[in-house]
Amino acid sequence: MFTYRFRAGLSSTDPAGILFYPELFRHAHDAYEGWMSAMGHGLDIVLAESQVLLPIVHAEADFRAPIRHGEVIAVGLAVKNVGHTSYTLAYTFRSESEDDVRARASTVHVLVDRKTGRARPLPDELRADLLARISHQDSEFPV
């Protein structure tokens, strides 16, 4: 399981002193990009020059306990499902100092043709790399 860390700074917290919830998704995406990069897959596939897009078509999160300003959070990332044209990732947000889960999230990614919007098969190499990392451990996660 790949791990990415962030400190909940002023950039991510609100007047109540806790994480502004869209920031959870932002950090999930930064974790995802670091993980893809470590696997050897940049997101070059999504750049405007390309003929495909790799949009997220569904995202959800459950917030169990507040993430407070100044806390360091480790984001764990797991592959939950790999289809022909799509894959699902799950994220766990854990406090480093208190070692408890504060939030969970998941995202569904689909490869689509930029012009037609139709789903397209994932590249073989990406699909193989995702399948090799599939995890059933995090079984309580509701995806």
The minimum distance between CB 84 and a copy of itself, in angstroms, equals 19
Q: Which two tokens stand for residue 142?
A: 């509701």
Q: Which two tokens stand for residue 38?
A: 């470590």
CB of 67 within 8 A of CB of 126?
no
- Name the segment binding a copy of itself (CB under 8 A); options: 60-68, 81-89, 94-102, 127-135: 60-68
Site for a copy of itself in 4-23 (CB under 8 A): 7, 9-11, 13-18, 20-23
Q: CA–CA separation, 75 vs 84, rounded Å? A: 27
3-class state of residue 10 by DSSP? helix
| Contact residues: a copy of itself, CB under 8 A | 7, 9-11, 13-18, 20-23, 25-26, 29-30, 33-34, 37, 42-44, 46-50, 53-66, 69-70, 107, 117
